[in-house]
Amino acid sequence: MTIEYVDAGEAIDHSALSAVTGTAPAVTDNINYDRLLNARSESQNWLTYYGAYDGQRYSLLDQINTENVSKISPAWIFQAGQSGQIAGASTYAFETCPVIVDGVMYVTGWDGWFWALDAVSGQELWRYKHAVPFDVSLCCGNVNRGCAVANGKVYFVTPNAQLLALDATNGKKVWQKTIGDVRAGESASIAPTVIKDFLITGSAGGEFGVRGHIDAWDLETGEQRWRTYTVPKPGEPGSETWPADGEAWARGGANHWVTGTYDPETNLYYAGTGNPAPDFDGEVRPGDNLYTDSVVALDVDSGEIKWHYQFTPHDLWDYDSTMEMTLFERDGKKLLGHFDKNGYFFVLDRTNGELQHVTPFVDRIDWGVITRDGKVTPRKYPDKEGEPVHFYPGPAGAKEWTHAAYSPKTEMFYVPVADVGATATRRRREFKESMPYWGAAVQVDIDDMAGSVSAFDTHGEEKWRWRIDYPMAASVLATAGDLVFAGTPTGEFVALDSRTGEKLWEFQCGSGHHGSCSTYSVDGKQYVVVPVGWGGWLEGIIPGMLGAGHGSALIAFALPS
């Protein structure tokens, strides 16, 4: 056994935990920027987090379609391990999105796990385990959302804010970098994005009063190329939206903890940012609080913010805007679509951030009103300590972090909707480093909730709605087979007709869904793979959900041979 002790602030990495059990084909050796630019054209693979840089979560595969989807069944199941309670209030959840390259699947898990699998059989090729200290400060679960692949390596982050590059053939560590300050409450869960010869990551930890940032790292060496803070310091553009005195800006949040999208024609990376800190106490941070709850468009070569749009100015409701910024075109215009936690669907011109229109996508919204031209009228928030306020949507949002899909074939978006409220009770607390910095106690309405997969056209008109009794909390997938795949909290994995919303197929997976499915093909046979394993901060707020404390798994579905 060999043990490598690294610098304070990093993990102690027990390299024996790599547990290399075999080797994988060298399929990532020729994954380069050109192939990633054209990822959708090779839909037999799922080369990036969203399947392509545009974030559409759309596949050209159509072997599985509306005519035959009722015949699909499990092709294999990989038991990833145990989910459930860990380390204080944090829980495991299987929130990943599998990446597939020429028959090899790369999957990240909670608590520093990484697996390489045979995508036809589900057989494990190798595994890696990064040792994560038990005392890492985590707001909302010990989770990871995915990896990136390029140049013979796979890249992923860990809860204790490490970025690792592994040899894709055997899982051996190539390099490791610290990307956040765990002592201050920073962590990481984002799936990195490879662009050109570097990759982009973001920080997590807004609930601990950290200052969010987005970073670029050299693919080969791990050296930092640039860092862009998402809360401006005094004197920088946007700093006028924070108090002129004090250090509210230095603990302002705005973390980028979900993967952004990229347009090579504009050379812009579109990053969503999280809530301000403290979440529910706006009196200590008067002003709009840029760039919280925003999309920031960054020049990928320099990290310079070229434009921004703020979805919830001076947020008092924990409405992160980290979710996907889906790139699409309409009438010759380059546009960006975003379903926000605040309950509104925004369409922007992605070249300059100019608002096109806003429409609500959930029935119950009472925190404030946004008109179609973008004017925001917020509701008054209680001033007194201990005074409760009930609001819709709750802090999980009208849509959680999990992702919508867009089909250029139907020209419709498919969004996983959560219709649930909450009560926040003012609890002002002084800032203390690495301690929770919420500003309120929050209770979710566990007896009054609903959800759906809803379809909207690009103008914001709802076309259909498939309803369930609980909030949707997993990403959806659209395919050229006119299908939409979605997983429910109660364990069902369903296929819907993308044009009508009719349920065509269902399989009970034995645990709730809180991750991102993907699709691929090997030797001409299409598979749909879904991570299953309930948990994260949602565990316990929805009574009777399957999977709390149960095993997590990957399940691949296919037509019979």
Largest Cα–Cα distance in the chain?
68
Report which of 404, 376, 408 is spatially closest to residue 59, judged by C-alpha positions. Answer: 408
Residue 355 has pLDDT above 60, yes or no: yes
Whether residue 278 is preceded by a cis peptide bond, meaning omega within 30 degrees of 0, is yes
Banded pLDDT at 445 (limits 50, 70, 90):
very high
Lowest mean pLDDT segment, chosen from 137-141, 300-304, 409-413, 487-491: 137-141
Is 293 within the bounds of a domain?
Answer: yes
Report d(CA 370, CA 12) in Å as an integer.
48
Confidence at residue 91, expressed as pLDDT on a 0 to 100 scale:
55
Confidence at residue 180, expressed as pLDDT on a 0 to 100 scale:
95
Confidence at residue 5, expressed as pLDDT on a 0 to 100 scale:
26
Amino acid residing at 41: S
Per the structure, the count of domains in the chain is 1
Give CA angle at 396 (395, 397), nearest 5°.
85
Q: What are the DSSP E strand ranges found in 38-121?
A: 58-59, 73-82, 99-101, 104-108, 113-118
Report d(CA 360, CA 350) in Å as an integer.
20
Confidence at residue 535, expressed as pLDDT on a 0 to 100 scale:
67
Could you count the other beta carbons within 10 Å of the beta carbon of residue 397?
25
Across 421-435, average pLDDT: 89
pLDDT mean across residues, the chain: 91
Q: Report, as residue numbers or ranges, the catalytic residues.
A: 318
Distances (CA, A) of 423 to 24, 389, 512: 50, 5, 25
Banded pLDDT at 93 (limits 50, 70, 90):
confident
Across 118-126, average pLDDT: 97
Confidence at residue 538, expressed as pLDDT on a 0 to 100 scale:
56
Report which of 39, 46, 138, 45 is spatially closest to residue 88, judged by C-alpha positions. Answer: 138
193-195 and 198-202 beta bridge pairing = antiparallel
Is 67 within the bounds of a domain?
Answer: yes
Is 430 within the bounds of a domain?
Answer: no
Residue 422 has pLDDT above 90, yes or no: yes
Report d(CA 77, CA 82) in Å as an integer.
15
pLDDT tens digit string along 294-304? 999 999 999 99
Is 389 within the bounds of a domain?
Answer: no
Is 528 within the bounds of a domain?
Answer: yes
Could you count the other beta carbons within 10 Å of the beta carbon of residue 127?
20
Amino acid residing at 418: A
Across 222-227, average pLDDT: 98
Confidence at residue 536, expressed as pLDDT on a 0 to 100 scale:
54
Residue 395 has pLDDT above 90, yes or no: yes
Asked if 482 contacts 460 with a C-beta cutoff of 8 angstroms, the reply is no
Residue 2 has pLDDT above 70, yes or no: no
Report which of 379, 360, 467, 459 is spatially closest to residue 413, judged by C-alpha positions. Answer: 459
Asked if 27 contacts 116 with a C-beta cutoff of 8 angstroms, the reply is no
Across 517-521, average pLDDT: 98
Report d(CA 355, CA 112) in Å as an integer.
39
Confidence at residue 144, expressed as pLDDT on a 0 to 100 scale:
94
Is 384 within the bounds of a domain?
Answer: no
pLDDT tens digit string along 38-68? 999 999 999 999 999 999 999 999 999 999 9
The DSSP string of 318-381 is: -----S--EEEEETTEEEEEEE-TTSEEEEEETTT--EEEEEE-SS---SEEE-TT--EEEPPP
Across 365-389, average pLDDT: 92
Is 22 within the bounds of a domain?
Answer: no
Across 198-226, average pLDDT: 97
Is 19 within the bounds of a domain?
Answer: no
Asked if 83 contacts 534 with a C-beta cutoff of 8 angstroms, the reply is yes
Confidence at residue 537, expressed as pLDDT on a 0 to 100 scale:
53
Confidence at residue 22, expressed as pLDDT on a 0 to 100 scale:
84
Lowest mean pLDDT segment, chosen from 309-318, 384-393, 469-478, 499-508: 384-393
Check residues 471 and 142 and name the one with the higher pLDDT: 471
Burial 445-463 (b: 16+ CB within 10 A, else e): eeeebbbbbbbbebebebb
Banded pLDDT at 21 (limits 50, 70, 90):
low
Distance of CA 38 to the CA centre of its chain: 22
Confidence at residue 6, expressed as pLDDT on a 0 to 100 scale:
33
Residue 12 has pLDDT above 80, yes or no: no
Which residue segment(s) compose the domain that 131 sits in?
28-379+396-418+451-558
Report which of 427, 429, 430 is spatially closest to residue 440, judged by C-alpha positions. Answer: 427
Banded pLDDT at 129 (limits 50, 70, 90):
very high
**CATH number, position 81:** 2.140.10.10
Banded pLDDT at 337 (limits 50, 70, 90):
very high
Confidence at residue 470, expressed as pLDDT on a 0 to 100 scale:
94
Residue 455 has pLDDT above 70, yes or no: yes
Banded pLDDT at 7 (limits 50, 70, 90):
very low
Residue 392 has pLDDT above 70, yes or no: yes
Across 16-42, average pLDDT: 85
Residue 546 has pLDDT above 60, yes or no: no
Residue 18 has pLDDT above 50, yes or no: no
Residue 15 has pLDDT above 80, yes or no: no
Amino acid residing at 135: D
Confidence at residue 14, expressed as pLDDT on a 0 to 100 scale:
37
Across 501-517, average pLDDT: 96
Query: Which three-class secondary structure state does DSSP give residue 137?
Result: coil
Report d(CA 416, CA 402) in Å as an integer.
8
